[in-house]
Structure 1
Amino acid sequence: MSSTSRPSAVPAVDPEQLEDDELMRQLDLTAQGVQLARQEGRVFLRFSGNVAYAGQNVAYDLVPAYGVLAKASKWRKMDVATRSATLRERASAAAADALQAEVAAFVVEIAEACADCDIDAAPFLDALASMQLAEPAAIVFDRLRQRLEHAVEREMEEQHAERTRQSINLAEYPATFDVARRIKRRFIAVLGPTNSGKTHMAIEALAKAPSGVYLAPLRLLALENYERLQGMQARGKPLAVSLVTGEERRLVPGATHVASTVEMLDTRTEVDVVVIDEIQMLADRDRGAAWTAAVCGAPAHTVYLVGAPEARRAIEALAARLECELEVHILKRKGPLSMEPTAVRKLGNLRRGDAVICFSRREVLMWRDMVTELGLSVATVYGNLSPEVRRAQAQRFREGAADVVVGTDAIAMGLNMPIARIVMTTTVKYNGYEEEEIPAALARQIAGRAGRYGVHEEGLVAGYDNETHNVMRSLLKEKPVPIKTNGFAVAPTLEHLHRISSVTLEQSLAKLLKRFVHNIDVPDGFFYPRITEEQFERAAWLDTLDLSVAEKFALSLVPISSKVPSLQRAWEHWATALAAKKVTELKAVQVPLHYMSLQEVEDACRLYSAYAWLAYRQPEHFPDTELAQQLSRQASDRVDSLLHEQNSAARKRQPKRFRR
């Protein structure tokens, strides 16, 4: 069968289109640059032409103000006479002249706007002939104005990003600490597991120095070592020591030593020795920047870096970068730490001297009740408690008034207790985003609290159930993973934000923080910008208020939980009052502490502490610092009392044969 070629397909001829084209020719509109078009179910006129500007012709092909004639279905039903009349009316010379004038004015507007911003106008003006929209020219103009606005925003963003990069170079971060840069510093790393005596070694050296500062990760640790230093002597005299935390100041005239939280380091006052505790916190996602600042800015001739062995490489990298001499001491645990042969399995197998570890307040209180029902007395420790309450609870255990400690991993840092055995109820913890197995470093730190040197011959560790027991065994066998040797977190300071603001004229805290994170110069990544998600979320809300950058920055850092509605409302009230320039006096919560639940008293304590923190930074608007501290102490006492009452009540419900 022979193949035959088929004729190519010929487009179908639309008789309605032919009829319209003929009508346009009869009215002589096509010769005048007018087209009749169909698009998007509408029939409309399109005028083409050009306008002269700055020696150039700018072509356009646009729909005039009344150029949309009808829907396609309606136009189809019109007779020829009606169509002709409509075309003569809408395609008049007056309509063409009006569009010409509109285009001319728009061309001048865009050209001048582009010249002001140093942007090429051609892409916007060329679009007048190429966009081919079925909408009136006014809408096309608005779209092109939006394009230009976005282009200007992009151009300004690029300029601001470049200016930000030029204004802050993180490679130069250490040089921003004038005193530390000026003096010759020596680092002494004292590294070892829990119960290795590393903090004792550093504190002894600190006490012997003519002046010095101890930096703690927690208020509790700062308070404990403040009291410890007060009891020590140098050159035959008691040390004069001050306490400085975010929420409290105990300033002693002529003090030679200071115990402080790490964020409160005074980088401008030169001292002989600085001790930076828990140096492995350099790797902490939210607070690591405070340790970076302390290492870079500690204004001392000798800086002790105390913490876990896995921080060694990071310390070596920092010492090399800062050109500081480094001496490393690796200490061993003073007593053995062993896994129990089997899991605990039953409540009845708990014994005096145990520390039962959970990972939430709810679980702690549940286990406390179960343990007290055995007839054992319990000390309770979890993160929501104030340092004063945690200390009081720990003291009860130390003095034998409590048989067992039930707590979270809060016991792993800053509480020295004669724990014989750590009993893990789980190895899964919520990390702020999801439930996950605890890292080996945390497992070692918690386990290390067992077997206090001088009290117990060894420390013991067990899981409550078989699975937890086996996981803990595996975690404690894992080799410590060294923390990273670059990417050390740097948090923005008010000076950083003011510098960015001065080159960008930006006053939004959220945008300034975003620029700090994304636009500053990070040449080699050794130092890296970091902010917390909570601070950024707060910044966006604070930007809705009439506050200065400095005021918004301070409010974004207030240590108060946004997850507790009553505390979040208090914070918002303080912010709006400051925006209105009103003085916010502190008032005790209306319900007496005696009638509050444990949770309510805990929240009241946190509220008073947060007010005190803000009062130290904005005293003219938050004047009741002393009252805040007084109310905080009263609330702490009530929390401690409630815990004791609940413990006693649970024990009284049991037969005497179960009691101690």
Structure 2
Amino acid sequence: MTDLPHIANHDSAPGEDDDLVRQLGLADKGVSLAKSEGRVYLRISGVVEYQGLRVAYDLVPTQGVLAKPSKWRKMDADSRSALLRERAADAAIAELQADVAAFVRELADACDDCDMDPDPFMQGLSDMQVAEPAGMVFDRIRTRLEHAVEREMEEQHAERTRQSINLAEYPASFDVARRMKRKFIAVLGPTNSGKTHMAMEALGKAPSGVYLAPLRLLALENYERLQEMQQHGKPLKVSLVTGEERRLVPGATHVASTVEMLDTQTAVDVAVIDEIQMLSDRDRGAAWTAAVCGAPAKVVYLVGAPEARRAIEVLAARLECELEVHVLKRKGPLTVEPTAVRKLSNLRRGDAVICFSRREVLMWRDMVTEMGLSVATVYGNLSPEVRRAQAQRFREGAADVVVGTDAIAMGLNMPIARVVMTTTVKYNGYEEEEIPAALARQIAGRAGRFGVHEEGLVAGYDNETHSVMRELLREKPVPIKTTGFAVAPTLEHLHRISSVTNEHALAKLLKRFVHNIDVPDGFFYPRITEEQFERAAWLDTLDLSVAEKFALSLVPISSKVPALQHAWETWAKSLAHKKITHMKPGDTPLHYMNLQEVEDACRLYSAYAWLAYREPEYFPDTELAQRLSRDASERVDAILQDQNSAARKRQPRRFRR
């Protein structure tokens, strides 16, 4: 240990004071005078011995501070002598010697207990030249020892964590997939290239299989799509599994699931992993890493954007899986219009008007409807059921225009003739920034539904947005990264770290997972979301098991909405007290709530259902929560239609054809 700095240099007292100390015979007893930090004080030096240790000290006794320098200078020699005799009496010297001896024993024993060298800490008794009584110096040294022990324990725990989890061996943790001879088939292409259709046809013909979706909406749509398929003249038996809902069919051969809900233990013939480029997603990419490594299927279809090709190739090589690649082209051309739209009156039936926030969507919805066009509304805060209902209105012609966020870019098949961008700037969770070219292509690609339109059209509403979109669509796709594939902690990981460190705080376990596990080549890399870590710190204040805290940290509910955050905290506290939490409708009936309130109620009920599947003993009302969620979704859809109708009544129907 070399971290015991010389804290302060004390100024020597004037020569006459040194003479006075010698004249009084105090120098022979180890007494000296010092002046620093605006004080004149005594220091007493000596030596104590303990179990072979010989420890020198130079400390200020309890009553060692004599006066301020200004007052000391005004005192005559007799007054100074009297004060020195009083404060440096034999009893005071003996008291300090006894205190130091007791502290040396304490420190030596503590160092022995934690197998540390006591010498560096003992040196502080003579080197720490501060104008503080000995007791405060003892406390400083104790604190240093505590910090040194903590650092030592930290190093030991970090090393034990590294030894307990090696991410290079991550694929081997999926036992069923590891034992199978798997083949990867990558089906890559832009939007409207038929890639999902190709993979789903193969899945429907397989004796058994699973479809893994990025969204509940996509899982639901492809669940119904599989139900319409037949084998040997009979409809497929299909189950739906999402975080918030289970529709389990006895004897089901196929499952439509969200990617996080992958069953890694049940072997199937074919798996389809959709939107494979999500491997690079900052918050959710770990779910795709797990799906690629752990999907227990003989054939795994990897469906997505062409920029994922190189990442797929390196993953296939790492996992020793045969790889077949199909690159599809868009079935119809995508064309940027010559000029920007510029006026609301230039909007037309079949347009999709794109914004990047709920507030903007509702504002544009009102402006468009007041021009006489009917509108379907789609944004991320809406439940999958409402998004589907709104999309269906557009498909059936009940709505002339769809106004939405980039939520339309994934999972909604609509006959969009033209995509109109109101902006190319989006909040990324930290700041406003221009959307990446990949997202611009995905949104624009929704225009020109094959079989409905001969081509897809893209335009910006204003000149600047139009120009930026043109440039973004010209950009060459940037391949996603081919290393550092995200791996999220599992409960097994956390239990393993806890067993070797004896730590039970979720925040500490998550931090160890991110910073201490072994990542020898960086091919797989640990990731947690910032929100999960923040939640973990709060959950650690409650009497919950690691498993309970881990589940609560993952509940899909927004911490930015006060009512939802309050509900989540209430659930956590109830679980800590082992109280059963029932799902009850809100005090205010749905038909008295505004749109935002009903949306939040829907999200609350869905979050309860998600938690109920994981802690059914304490959250037993799964079916009720799902029913209330459906009721709230229907009310949201009704409100949107009512608002659309009310706005249209204010203006003539100039655009109806």
Match of 1:405 among 382, 386, 402: 402
Q: Would the alpha carbon gap of residues 372 and 114 (structure 1) be closer, same or farther in structure 2, given more than 3 Å must change?
A: same
Q: Indicate which of 275, 291, 297 corresponds to 2:272.
A: 275
Q: Residues 341 and 51 (structure 1 numbering): CA distance in 2 closer, same or farther, change over 3 Å?
A: same
- 2:5 is aligned to none
Change (3 A) 1:443 1:15: closer
- Structure 2 partner of 1:629: 626
Tell me what 2:7 maps to: none
Alignment of 1:289-438 (within 5 A): 289-438=286-435
Q: 1:585 aligns with which of 570, 575, 582?
A: 582
Mapped partners of 2:513, 2:71: distance in 1: 59
For 1:264 and 1:578, the matched residues in 2 are separated by: 23
Deviations along 1:472-523, one digit per CA (max 9) or x if unpaired, are 1111111000000000000000000000000111111011100000000000
Q: Name 2:457's counterpart in structure 1.
A: 460
**Which amino acid in structure 1 is aligned with residue 212 of structure 2?**
L
Contact 1:36–1:45 (CA<8 Å) still a contact in 2?
yes
In structure 2, distance between residues paired with 1:415 and 1:245: 18
Counterpart residue number, 1:89: 86
* Residue of structure 1 equivalent to 2:149: 152
Which 10-residue stretch deviates more, 437-446 or 61-70?
61-70
The Cα of 1:37 is off from its aligned counterpart by: 1.2
State whether residues 217 and 411 of structure 2, in contact with CA within 8 Å, keep that contact through their aligned partners in structure 1: yes
Matched, 1:538 2:522: no
Contact 2:164–2:496 (Cα < 8 Å) also in 1: yes
- Partners of 2:499 and 2:36 in 1: how far apart? 51
Deviation at 1:654, TM superposition (A): 1.1
Equivalent position of 1:11 in the other structure: none
Please say which of residues 23-32 and 515-524 is displaced more in the overlay. Answer: 23-32
Q: Distance in 2 between matches of 1:207 and 1:603?
A: 36
Q: Decide whether aligned partners of structure 1 residues 39 and 15 sit closer, same or farther in structure 2, where only a CA change above 3 A counts.
A: closer
SS of 2:376's partner is strand
CA distance in 1, matches of 2:223, 2:122: 72
Measured after TM superposition, the shift of residue 72 of structure 1 is 1.7
What is the CA distance between 1:21 and its match in structure 2?
1.8
Partner of 1:120: 117
User: What corresponds to 2:249 in structure 1?
Assistant: 252
Q: Deviations over 1:83-118 (max 9, x none)?
A: 211111111111111111111111111111111112
For 1:177 and 1:580, the matched residues in 2 are separated by: 35
Q: CA deviation at 1:656?
A: 4.9
Aligned to 1:469: 466
Are the aligned partners of 2:12 and 2:35 in contact in 1 as well (CA < 8 Å)?
no
Q: Given that residues 236 and 254 in structure 2 are in contact (C-alpha distance below 8 angstroms), is that contact kept between their aligned partners in structure 1?
A: yes
The 5 A counterparts of 1:9-20 are: 17-20=14-17
Matched residue, 2:4: none
Q: 1:645 aligns with which of 634, 638, 642?
A: 642
Distance in 2 separating the partners of 1:657 and 1:300 = 55
Cα offset, 1:127, TM superposition: 1.5
Please say if residues 368 and 375 of structure 2, whose CA atoms lie closer than 8 Å, have aligned partners that are also in contact: yes
Give the gaps of 5 or more residues in structure 1.
1-13
2:549 matches 1:523:
no
CA contact (8 A) 2:311 2:481 kept: yes
The amino acid that maps onto 1:55 is: G
Q: Secondary structure at the match of 1:37?
A: strand
- 2:441 and 2:305 mapped to 1: Cα distance? 10
Deviation at 1:575, TM superposition (A): 0.5
Instruction: Give the TM-score normalised by structure 1.
Output: 0.97
Asked if the contact 2:12–2:33 (Cα under 8 Å) also holds between the matched residues in 1, the reply is no
Task: Tell me, in whole angstroms, the C-alpha distance in 2 between the residues paired with 1:20 and 1:334.
Answer: 99
- After the TM superposition, which segments of 4 or more aligned residues of structure 1 sit over 4 Å from their partners? 656-660
Superposition deviation, residue 54 in structure 1 = 2.3
Residues 1:611 and 2:601 aligned together: no
Deviations 1:399-418 (A, max 9, x none): 00000000000000000000
Amino acid corresponding to residue 236 of structure 1 in structure 2:
G
Residue identity opposite 1:433 in structure 2: Y
Check conservation: 1:211, 1:256, Cα contact below 8 A: yes
1:573 aligns with 2:532: no
Q: 1:79 deviation in Å?
A: 2.2
**Contact 1:374-1:659 at 8 Å conserved across structures:** no
The CA deviation at 1:152 is: 0.4
The alignment partner of 1:259 has SS state of: strand
In structure 2, what is the Cα distance between the partners aligned to 1:282 and 1:56?
Answer: 60
Cα separation, 2, equivalents of 1:55 and 1:573: 59
In structure 2, list runs of 5 or more residues that go unmatched.
1-10
Distance in structure 1 (CA, Å) of the matches to 2:19 and 2:134:
26
Cα deviation 1:26-76 (Å, max 9, x = unaligned)? 111112211011111111111111111222311111111111112222222
Pick aligned residue for 1:449 from 436, 446, 451: 446
Q: Does the CA-based 8 Å contact 1:651-1:659 persist in structure 2? A: no
Q: Does 1:484 align with 2:481?
A: yes
- CA contact under 8 A between 2:187 and 2:328: conserved in structure 1? yes
Distance 2:34 2:475 in 1: 76
What letter is aligned with 1:528?
Y
Per-residue deviation, 1:653 = 1.0
**Corresponding residue for residue 554 of structure 1:** 551
The one-letter code sitting in structure 2 at the alignment partner of 1:133 is: V
Paired residue for 1:217? 214
The alignment's TM-score, normalised by the length of structure 2, stands at 0.97
Residue 15 of structure 1 deviates from its aligned partner by 12
Aligned length in residues: 647
1:115-264 correspondence runs (5 A): 115-264=112-261
Matched residues in 2 for 1:132 and 1:656: separation?
88
CA contact (8 A) 1:412 1:446 kept: yes
Q: CA deviation at 1:655?
A: 2.8
Question: How large is the RMSD of aligned CA atoms in angstroms?
Answer: 1.1
Identity %: 84
Secondary structure of the residue aligned to 1:328 is strand
Instruction: Please give the alpha-carbon distance, in whole angstroms, between the structure 1 residues aligned to 2:12 and 2:469.
Output: 85
1:598 aligns with 2:595: yes
For 1:437-466, what per-residue CA distance to the aligned partner results, in whole angstroms no more than 9, with x for missing partners?
000000000000000000001100011111
Q: How much has 1:235 moved relative to structure 2?
A: 2.2
